[in-house]
């Protein structure tokens, strides 16, 4: 068995090693498959957003239509902040940026309008700027400004960015963080007044879908928290952010009361709920006092935009269109409702171990279970893998990828199945090659399709054996003494129709022995009518010889050469035999052995003595007596065998058996044999003479001559008193 599956197992282990290497390298196609699987989990079971701790103040189309195009004057933004503070907002964060001074500030306007008188210009220049008014509105409140990472370096403002306190637990997390060369900041007066600053930059996956949001990032050589996480820090009053990291990457980012598990790059997997308009209130409604404290009080407020013209639209696993500010809101909702998703750093190791163990199990069990049970086992393993991944997603909020273990084990299964297929095809080719010359094409295909029916090494079963031989072949060969090619051609003309007659009756050619043929039935495929098929084949062979003799006679007459008719003797016997591959390790043949085989050979040799072309043993005759014309010949013991056997001639099929002429000959033959065996020589001769007269075609003249000679011998020399009618043959 190890030899049979050695190549398949070796290649399976090689394939497993390749797949594990590809997974460690994490090819884009594997990552894409994994991410799509996690998307599917969220599509099937999105986060249930029953609690709404976050409100989005939306700079929507309605607000822009009412209050003017963006950007609005900072005084209007200050009014918005003051209104939200009055409604008792827990914290306010801007998902928009104010990188330049407000052009609507009084001093800026004074410089723009050239026709102003000096007094008015001086008065405008003395007024506080809009940015200062906005800064005063923020000062002393929990307001977080947004900053944005840039893919290119940009000049830094002269005033450094106020940094948030940072502490690391473990190794330096900097190499794992997303690094932005540049940073787009707010005007300094605003940054100094804000309680916090956070990056609202969202990195999409390769396919443009937002699945993870960085919690901390690196920009212009500083570590900056995300907008949502900075908002949590401000709300909790924490002065420091804690980052845990090890050799595998960043594990979590925390402030007192909240520890967010992240991937190795410090990204949080967002547990999305579906887009919901109830999260949004219009900015103009807040400014104009149409929103009450019940909507805002003690909630986190994000100020952002859903207006299409401001280009802050993202794609998520659940929705093709979602404002970027809502992504931040969903992050905060997940954190505050303890519904954060995470994919542990050890998840890859778990998936690799599962893939390797199950694959090794398949390689080990493949020869034992067989394809059907292996397929069922694989399906069970697949269900367990999917079920385990689903359980951890629903109950533990952990993301484990079942696709790689499933794909790996499925490919291993396919490889082993393919090798089994190749092995079976090779076996079929061997069977076709081994039996193609000895069986009918239909039987060869049946055997190739069910090779288990061929039990190599030998098995015992009841079979019908046939031997055939040409009578007077030596004389025929001598006539071709000067033409050996002609003898070869004659042999081919002779053996081909006889072979076809056997094969067409479901027989198997065992071997050719010069002009002789050995064949058998009921192996390698079962044949419930093997006795009938063998007898039919024998009669067909006699017919083929008759046709061949007619053709040869015509050829002899046209060529002037002497014509020697070909006659064949056939012996058929049924009994238990051993059939299988016989021979040595170097060479073997599919053949049959047994006493019944020897008897078939012996009775074939007596066809000339009894003057009939087909002789069958008693077991064969008794099995086919209803379908053929059976004539009992003798009760004999063959040379080398002690047990006697009744032998019969096959005179024809049912039409012959039912004819009155044959029935009369058969009955007189039975009468003659009965008198012969009871040593009633007178009545035996009387019955024999009547049988001669009934045998108008002289088909049994040799048989009757044989018995007449025996009877006269017994009259002259009577047999012993214990004689039972058995005649011992002296020749093979």
- Residues 63-74 have pLDDT tens digits of 999 999 889 999
Half-sphere exposure of 516 (CA within 13 A, CB side): 17
pLDDT per position as a tens digit, 320-368: 788 889 999 999 999 999 999 999 888 888 989 988 888 888 777 766 7
Which whole number is the average pLDDT over 79-101? 94
> Three-class SS of residue 522?
coil
Strands 143-150 and 196-199: parallel
Residue bearing the bigger pLDDT, 106 or 282: 282
Strands 313-314 and 322-323: antiparallel
Q: Is the dihedral of CA 630, 636, 637, 639 positive or negative?
A: negative
Count the Cβ atoms, other than its own, within 10 Å of residue 489.
12
| pLDDT for residue 3 | 46
Q: How far apart are CA 723 and CA 548, in angstroms?
A: 44
- Phi first, then psi: give them for residue 456, nearest 5 degrees: -70, 145
pLDDT per position as a tens digit, 390-410: 999 999 999 998 888 888 888
Task: Identify which of 125, 92, 91 has the alpha carbon closest to the alpha carbon of residue 108.
Answer: 125
| pLDDT for residue 56 | 95
Using the CB atoms, write b or e for 136-154: b if 16+ within 10 Å.
Answer: ebbeebbbbbbbbbeeeee
Q: How confident is the model at residue 613 (pLDDT cuts 50, 70, 90)?
A: very high
Position 377 pLDDT exceeds 80: no
Cα-trace Rg, the chain: 51
**H or E element in which residue 514 lies:** none
| pLDDT for residue 568 | 94
pLDDT per position as a tens digit, 623-680: 999 999 999 999 998 876 778 999 999 999 999 999 999 999 999 999 999 999 999 9
pLDDT per position as a tens digit, 567-586: 999 999 999 999 887 766 55
Q: Is the distance from CB of 187 to CB of 100 less than 8 angstroms?
A: yes
Sketch out the chain's domains with CATH numbers. Answer: 6-28+345-430 (no CATH), 48-336 (no CATH), 436-451+460-658 (3.30.70.1230)
Beta strand ranges found along 256-321 (DSSP E)? 258-261, 267-269, 280-282, 300-304, 313-314
Q: CA of 341: how far to CAs of 213, 393, 397, 399, in Å?
A: 12, 8, 5, 7
Which whole number is the average pLDDT over 174-179? 93
Q: How confident is the model at residue 76 (pLDDT cuts 50, 70, 90)?
A: very high
Position 198 pLDDT exceeds 70: yes
Which whole number is the average pLDDT over 137-165? 83
Q: Is the distance from CB of 416 to CB of 362 less than 8 angstroms?
A: yes
| pLDDT averaged over every residue in the chain | 87
Measured N-to-C along each axis, helices 403-435 and 347-391 cross at an angle, to the nearest 10 degrees, of 90
Q: Is the distance from CB of 607 to CB of 584 less than 8 angstroms?
A: no
**H or E element in which residue 520 lies:** strand 516-521
Position 4 pLDDT exceeds 50: no
Q: Is the distance from CB of 84 to CB of 296 less than 8 angstroms?
A: yes
Residues 6+ apart with CB under 8 A from 300: 53, 54, 55, 89, 90, 91, 93, 231, 235, 332, 336
| pLDDT for residue 650 | 97
Burial class from Cβ neighbours inside 10 Å (0-12, 13-18, 19+) for residue 65 reads exposed
Which whole number is the average pLDDT over 97-112? 84
Q: Is the distance from CB of 240 to CB of 224 less than 8 angstroms?
A: no
| pLDDT for residue 437 | 54
| pLDDT for residue 1 | 41
**DSSP of 190-258:** HHHHSSEEEE------TTSB--EEESEEEETTEEEEBHHHHHHHHHHT-SEEEEEEETTEEEEEEETTE
Q: Is the distance from CB of 423 to CB of 4 less than 8 angstroms?
A: yes
Q: What percent of the chain has pLDDT over 70?
A: 92
Q: How confident is the model at residue 411 (pLDDT cuts 50, 70, 90)?
A: confident
Which whole number is the average pLDDT over 435-443? 54
Position 438 pLDDT exceeds 60: no
Residue bearing the bigger pLDDT, 105 or 45: 45
Position 157 pLDDT exceeds 70: no
| pLDDT for residue 8 | 72
Q: How far apart are CA 588 and CA 580, in angstroms?
A: 10
Q: CA of 555: how far to CAs of 492, 552, 565, 679, in Å?
A: 16, 5, 12, 51
Reading phi first (left if > 0) and then psi (alpha if -120 to 50, else beta), residue 316 is in beta
| pLDDT for residue 360 | 85
> Which of 432-441, 700-709, 710-719 is least confident?
432-441
Q: Which two tokens stand for residue 562?
A: 């002497």
Q: Is the distance from CB of 310 to CB of 324 less than 8 angstroms?
A: no
Q: How far apart are CA 131 and CA 71, in angstroms?
A: 13
Q: How far apart are CA 1 and CA 376, in angstroms?
A: 22
pLDDT per position as a tens digit, 281-317: 999 999 999 999 999 999 999 999 887 666 678 889 9
**DSSP of 7-70:** HHHHHHHHHHHHHHHHHHHT-HHHHHHHHHHHHHHHHHS--------EEEEE--HHHHHHH-SS
Measured N-to-C along each axis, helices 701-716 and 660-677 cross at an angle, to the nearest 10 degrees, of 20
Strands 313-314 and 196-199: unpaired
**H or E element in which residue 291 lies:** none
Print the SS3 string covering 309-378: HHCCEEECCCCCCEEHHHHHHHHHHHHHCCCCEECCCCHHHHHHHHHHHHHHHHHHHHHHHHHHHHHHHH
> Which of 118-122, 176-180, 520-524, 689-693 is least confident?
118-122
> Which of 91-95, 154-158, 470-474, 721-725 is least confident?
154-158
Q: CA of 232: how far to CAs of 49, 116, 164, 328, 447, in Å?
A: 19, 48, 13, 12, 75
Q: Which two tokens stand for residue 552?
A: 């040869």
Strands 240-246 and 249-255: antiparallel
Which whole number is the average pLDDT over 193-209? 90
| pLDDT for residue 103 | 87
Residues 6+ apart with CB under 8 A from 181: 150, 151, 152, 153, 219, 220
Residue bearing the bigger pLDDT, 230 or 417: 230
Position 87 pLDDT exceeds 60: yes
């Amino acid at each position: 068995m190890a030899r049979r599956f050695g190549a398949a197992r070796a290649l399976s282990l090689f394939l497993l090693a390749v797949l594990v290497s590809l997974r460690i390298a994490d090819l884009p196609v594997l990552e894409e498959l994994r991410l799509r699987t996690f998307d599917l989990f969220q599509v099937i079971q999105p986060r249930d957003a029953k609690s709404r701790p976050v409100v989005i103040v939306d700079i929507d189309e309605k607000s822009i239509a009412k209050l003017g195009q963006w950007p609005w004057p900072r005084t209007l933004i200050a009014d918005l902040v003051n209104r939200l503070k009055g409604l008792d907002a827990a914290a306010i964060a801007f998902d928009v940026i104010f990188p330049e001074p407000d052009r609507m500030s009084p001093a800026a306007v004074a410089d723009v309008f050239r026709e102003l008188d000096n007094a008015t210009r001086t008065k405008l220049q003395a007024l506080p700027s809009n940015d200062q008014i906005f800064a005063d509105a923020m000062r002393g409140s929990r307001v977080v400004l947004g900053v944005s990472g840039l893919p290119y370096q940009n000049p830094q403002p002269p005033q450094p960015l106020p940094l948030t306190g940072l502490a690391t637990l473990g190794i330096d997390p900097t190499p794992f963080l997303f690094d932005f060369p540049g940073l787009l900041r707010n005007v300094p007066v605003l940054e100094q007044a804000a309680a916090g600053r956070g990056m609202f930059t969202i990195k999409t996956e390769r396919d443009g879908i937002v699945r993870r949001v960085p919690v901390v990032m690196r920009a212009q050589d500083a570590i900056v928290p995300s907008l949502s996480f900075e908002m949590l820090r401000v709300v909790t009053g924490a002065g420091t952010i804690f980052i845990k990291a090890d050799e595998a990457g960043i594990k979590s980012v925390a402030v007192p009361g909240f520890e967010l598990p992240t991937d190795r790059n410090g990204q949080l997997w967002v547990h999305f709920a579906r887009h919901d308009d109830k999260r949004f209130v219009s900015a103009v409604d807040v400014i104009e006092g149409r929103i009450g404290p019940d909507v805002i009080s003690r909630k986190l407020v994000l100020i952002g935009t859903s207006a299409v013209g401001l280009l802050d639209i993202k794609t998520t696993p659940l929705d093709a269109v979602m404002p970027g500010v809502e992504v931040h809101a969903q992050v905060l909702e997940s954190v505050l409702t303890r519904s954060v998703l995470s994919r542990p750093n050890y998840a890859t190791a778990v998936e690799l171990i599962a893939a390797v163990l199950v694959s090794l199990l398949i390689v080990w069990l493949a020869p034992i279970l067989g394809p059907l049970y292996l397929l069922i086992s694989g399906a069970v393993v697949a269900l367990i893998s999917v079920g385990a991944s689903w359980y951890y997603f629903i109950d533990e909020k952990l993301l484990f990828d079942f696709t790689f273990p499933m794909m790996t084990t499925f490919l291993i299964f396919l490889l082993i199945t393919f090798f089994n297929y190749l092995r079976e095809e090779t076996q079929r080719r061997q069977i076709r090659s081994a039996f193609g010359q000895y069986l009918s094409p239909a039987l060869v295909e049946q055997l190739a399709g069910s090779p288990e029916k061929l039990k190599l090494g030998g098995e015992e079963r009841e079979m019908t054996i046939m031997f055939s031989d040409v009578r007077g072949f030596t004389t025929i060969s001598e006539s071709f003494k000067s033409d050996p090619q002609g003898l070869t051609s004659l042999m081919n003309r002779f053996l081909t129709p006889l072979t076809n007659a056997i094969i067409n009756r479901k027989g198997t050619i065992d071997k050719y022995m010069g002009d002789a043929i050995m064949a058998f039935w009921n192996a390698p495929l079962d044949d419930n009518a093997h006795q009938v098929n063998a007898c039919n084949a024998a009669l067909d062979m006699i017919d083929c010889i008759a046709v061949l003799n007619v053709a040869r006679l015509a050829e002899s007459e046209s060529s002037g050469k002497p014509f020697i008719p070909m006659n064949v003797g056939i012996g058929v016997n049924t009994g238990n035999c051993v059939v299988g591959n016989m021979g040595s390790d170097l060479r073997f043949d599919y053949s049959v052995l047994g006493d019944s085989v020897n008897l078939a050979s012996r009775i074939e040799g007596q066809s000339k003595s009894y003057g009939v072309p087909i002789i069958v043993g008693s077991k064969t005759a008794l099995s086919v007596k209803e379908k053929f014309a059976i004539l009992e010949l003798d009760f004999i013991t063959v040379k080398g065998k002690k047990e006697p056997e009744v032998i019969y001639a096959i005179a024809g099929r049912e039409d012959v058996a039912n004819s009155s002429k044959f029935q009369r000959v058969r009955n007189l033959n039975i009468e003659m044999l009965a008198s012969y065996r009871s040593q009633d020589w007178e009545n035996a001769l009387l019955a024999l003479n009547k049988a001669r007269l009934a045998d108008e075609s002289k088909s049994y003249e040799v048989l009757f001559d044989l018995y007449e000679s025996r009877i006269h011998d017994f009259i002259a020399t009577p047999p012993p008193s214990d004689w039972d009618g058995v005649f011992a043959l002296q020749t093979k």
